[in-house]
Structure 1
Amino acid sequence: MTLPPPTKACFESPACSAAQDATRSLLDRCIVRGERWIFSAGFNVASGMRDLSRIDAEVADIARLANAGARVSVLSHQGRHKDGSAQHLGDVATYLGGRLGREVLYVPENTTESAVDRSRALAPGGVALFGNTRHHPGEESNDPALAALFARLGDAVAVGGFSKAHREHASNTGLLKCLPGWAAHSLLVELERLSPWSGADRAVPSLAVLGGVKPEKTLVGLRSLSQTYDVVVPAGAVLNHVLRAQGHHVGESELGEEPERCTEASLKILGSATARTHVPSRVIIARRSGDSFADPREIRIAEGVPSGFAIVDFFLEGWLQDVMREFAGIGCRAVIAGTPSLFLQGFGHASTQLLDWASAPRVKAILLGGDTVSELPFAGPTSTGGGSALCYLGEADLPVLRALRENAAAPWTET
């Protein structure tokens, strides 16, 4: 969905109140030629750069700075430090330069004296993308010493990267302890985009699908949406946590990180949920062989998943199909956060049914998360901030928004 050009009016909805209250917008900041800015981005695109929406979302903010003559040092993460998936960002710099219509210098370092010198040497209007922040172990632990090193690349910071707004990292909340900061339009517009799906609205029926593998889908999404939505459909690792919590054997099914914590949380969440939770009685399993699957078969979940097999898809219960038809008839809102089944591996039964329903005229649906958006064919509204979006939908606030409010009250507010 293409959004209109930035205007202040788009920040006046109730969903944006947490951001608007004492948070400074980059749109309100007069950019002075020659100023040194750090832009905290969220260019965490998958290997192969199939989905570029997280980069595209930040282009207008970076262009505004550069077109006004600022010298812009861009910081971003990609992959993870602890599993060795943090990659170099040279291809991202090339793509960003094409979108901006100007050269984007790629500097593989980001904390060295050489990196600082490169940032200072930028001409007015110059843009440089510095090395992956997750090459440093202190990025994800919000090491203040690392944040101080990042801060040498500029004199003010524009905070974008909605996809990491639920994380307190050195390159976002850490930087806001070191420099005066402003919220990028790319950050605030995501809040406006999500406003129709935030909070409880008992006048409008609601259904949430929670899939994927990340722990926040269970720890944040399942916890919050089971209290604010009418129906919750666990899928992916979230379903596997729920099944384990109910005492079912799930074999080699995907459990993601922190499986024990997520299973324990699922048990507590199910005990206090106000939403009706869908737990399938029939699933499709397949024999796991590395990253591929073979020998698919249907089983009743009460039988347990045998060793060597994993759940790859599931069947919707009759009551859920009845509810979906009812909701589609009277109008409803829906969230799909995480791919429901292993769609790219050819197991699309549940995913296809849910997507077809979500595309009905009276179903106001949104897809959340970079992987979800890139994997599923859907023509409606999307948000690349999976965990951030779930956090905001449940709490109407985010760590980055809190940090921006604190930053706005700091002594440098007149900078």
Structure 2
Amino acid sequence: MRAEPPLLSRQDLRPGQRWVYSAGFNVGPDLRPAGRIDCEVPDLRRLCDAGARVALLSHQGSHRDGTALGLGHVASHLARALGRPVGYHPANATDDAVARADELRDGEIVLFGNTREHAGEERGDPALARRFARLGAAVAVGGFAKAHRAHASNAAILDFLPGCAADNLVTEARALDPWAGRDPGRYSVAVLGGVKPEKTLVGLTGLDRAYDLLIPGGVVLNTLLRALGHPIGRSALGPEPERCADAARSVLADGRAELHVPDRVIVRRGDGRPATVDVDGVPDDAAVVDFELAPWAHERLARLRALGGRALVAGTPSRYTDGFTTAVTPLLAAFADPGVDALLLGGDTVAELPWAGPSSTGGGSALHYLADGTCAVFDALRRTRTIERTPTP
């Protein structure tokens, strides 16, 4: 990690201090993965036990696709985890929300409404950040899962309040260090999947510089197949297909890592029927949902196990929850070997795959950190003002 930002544990916490805590829970009513909440509990307990008054901000879903929901279920889970009441106030940027924050008592914590109910949250709108800042006198930023997002509630808010990093934010970043950069002494395998553009734009291009073998799945694989001229039928390409295609072509032309492109893929037709076809035989009405590892890739996995290498999974490489397990089964079997240091990245990946080993709640943030050694939130925290000794009313 580059220069470490100021930490919450090093602040002079006292009763009556007014804190905004910017979390990164982003879990639905099923509370999966709950680890995104639980990892922030020690920092929240530190504030409450010191008598601070905590206005808690977090997000779930997105304003862009209408998936932003209320956060009452998160408040209930937090109350159980903290062993103390956690209030819930559905507004967060209104005069009513400010009044509720002003009423907080020493040691009290209230979760305010979903920050992504506002279109300006994901744009990092300074006007919205200013309204969030009215909820306290200093801000602690947690939520490593959104550390790569320069949003109003976790980056732009630092233009209006002095701030520090919650310890869990830095702890999660430090935990990634064994998987960061090149390690010439160890064979390494990275699996990329899922649907988000960052898996191609950041993951494919960044990990190509650090890993020996890249195994793409999901939209990353579809993008590469298209760039290579293979038919992909109705396969998903994500929201930024042309940018991702440019990145894929760059890696294909100048990539350092060995790149796995399967000879055979599993497709699902329009009527739902699955079929295994040659990579050049994807029907027009079908979508790629899984793939077979080439024989040479199995040999590389054997090498990984024999040499005790390192492995990374960033995004589910197939439609695993729909029963398509062909690629995942041998990959996870190899990565679970006691001699392999393997890590799963991202809440969806951790929730979907049967994995009991090390994991990180950050998907895109972890990719950015592994590729660049920093994230947007760390950069913002390094620029923030020093917190006054007692940010009280």
User: 2:273 pairs with 295, 308, 332, which one?
Assistant: 295
Q: In the alignment, what sits opposite 1:402?
A: 379
2:289 matched to 1:312?
yes
AA partner of residue 338 (structure 2): P
2:359 matched to 1:382?
yes
2:119 matched to 1:137?
yes
AA partner of residue 58 (structure 1): E
Q: In the alignment, what sits opposite 1:199?
A: 181
AA partner of residue 168 (structure 1): A
Q: Distance in 2 between matches of 1:152 and 1:78?
A: 21
Q: Distance in 1 between matches of 2:386 and 2:144?
A: 26
**How big is each residue's C-alpha offset from its partner over 1:36-55, in whole Å with a ceiling of 9 and x where there is no partner?**
10000001014522321100
2:222 matched to 1:245?
no
Partners of 1:19 and 1:401 within 8 A in 2 = no
Percent identity, please. 52
Give the Å deviation of 1:269. Answer: 2.1
Question: Is the alpha carbon distance of 1:411 and 1:123 closer, same or farther for their aligned partners in structure 2, counting shifts above 3 Å?
Answer: closer
**How big is each residue's C-alpha offset from its partner over 1:355-406, in whole Å with a ceiling of 9 and x where there is no partner?**
1110011111000000000011111100010000010011111111111111
Give the Å deviation of 1:193. Answer: 1.1
Q: In the alignment, what sits opposite 2:327?
A: 350
Q: In the alignment, what sits opposite 2:369?
A: 392
Partners of 1:207 and 1:231 within 8 A in 2 = yes
Q: With the length of structure 1 as denominator, give the TM-score of the two structures.
A: 0.92
Q: Distance in 2 between matches of 1:288 and 1:154?
A: 53
Q: In the alignment, what sits opposite 1:62?
A: 44
Q: Distance in 1 between matches of 2:15 and 2:152?
A: 27
Equivalent pairs, count: 390
User: 1:148 pairs with 112, 130, 143, which one?
Assistant: 130
User: 2:241 pairs with 256, 259, 275, which one?
Assistant: 259
- 3-state secondary structure, aligned to 1:208: strand
Q: After TM superposition, what 4+ stretches of structure 1 lie above 6 angstroms from structure 2? A: none
- 3-state secondary structure, aligned to 1:171: coil
- 3-state secondary structure, aligned to 2:121: coil
- 3-state secondary structure, aligned to 1:227: coil
Q: In the alignment, what sits opposite 1:115?
A: 97
2:142 matched to 1:160?
yes
Q: Distance in 1 between matches of 2:11 and 2:366?
A: 26
Q: Distance in 2 between matches of 1:170 and 1:74?
A: 14
Q: Distance in 2 between matches of 1:251 and 1:374?
A: 28
- Structure with the bigger percentage of helix: 1
Task: Give runs of aligned pairs for residues 86-105 of structure 1, distance below 5 A.
Answer: 86-105=68-87
Q: Distance in 2 between matches of 1:325 and 1:87?
A: 45
- 3-state secondary structure, aligned to 1:260: helix
Question: Is the alpha carbon distance of 1:316 and 1:55 closer, same or farther for their aligned partners in structure 2, counting shifts above 3 Å?
Answer: same
User: 2:345 pairs with 364, 368, 373, which one?
Assistant: 368
Q: In the alignment, what sits opposite 1:224?
A: 206
AA partner of residue 179 (structure 1): L
- 3-state secondary structure, aligned to 2:184: coil
AA partner of residue 162 (structure 2): P
Partners of 2:162 and 2:386 within 8 A in 1 = no
Q: In the alignment, what sits opposite 1:40?
A: 22
Q: Distance in 1 between matches of 2:376 and 2:320?
A: 32
Partners of 2:144 and 2:173 within 8 A in 1 = no
Question: Is the alpha carbon distance of 1:193 and 1:78 closer, same or farther for their aligned partners in structure 2, counting shifts above 3 Å?
Answer: same
Partners of 1:284 and 1:314 within 8 A in 2 = yes
Q: In the alignment, what sits opposite 2:7?
A: 25
Give the Å deviation of 1:347. Answer: 0.6
What are structure 1's unaligned runs of at least 5 residues? 1-15
- 3-state secondary structure, aligned to 2:284: coil
Partners of 2:270 and 2:286 within 8 A in 1 = yes
**How big is each residue's C-alpha offset from its partner over 1:94-142, in whole Å with a ceiling of 9 and x where there is no partner?**
1111111111110000011110010110110000000000000000000
User: 1:73 pairs with 52, 55, 66, which one?
Assistant: 55
AA partner of residue 175 (structure 1): I
User: 2:166 pairs with 184, 190, 195, which one?
Assistant: 184
Give the Å deviation of 1:302. Answer: 1.6
User: 2:336 pairs with 336, 356, 359, which one?
Assistant: 359
Question: Is the alpha carbon distance of 1:281 and 1:46 closer, same or farther for their aligned partners in structure 2, counting shifts above 3 Å?
Answer: farther
Question: Is the alpha carbon distance of 1:405 and 1:103 closer, same or farther for their aligned partners in structure 2, counting shifts above 3 Å?
Answer: same
Partners of 1:38 and 1:158 within 8 A in 2 = yes
Q: In the alignment, what sits opposite 1:269?
A: 251
Q: Distance in 1 between matches of 2:213 and 2:388?
A: 44
2:311 matched to 1:340?
no
Partners of 2:115 and 2:153 within 8 A in 1 = yes
AA partner of residue 278 (structure 2): R
Partners of 1:19 and 1:188 within 8 A in 2 = no
AA partner of residue 328 (structure 1): R
- 3-state secondary structure, aligned to 1:302: coil
**How big is each residue's C-alpha offset from its partner over 1:241-293, in whole Å with a ceiling of 9 and x where there is no partner?**
1111111111111222212221222111221210000000100111246xxxx
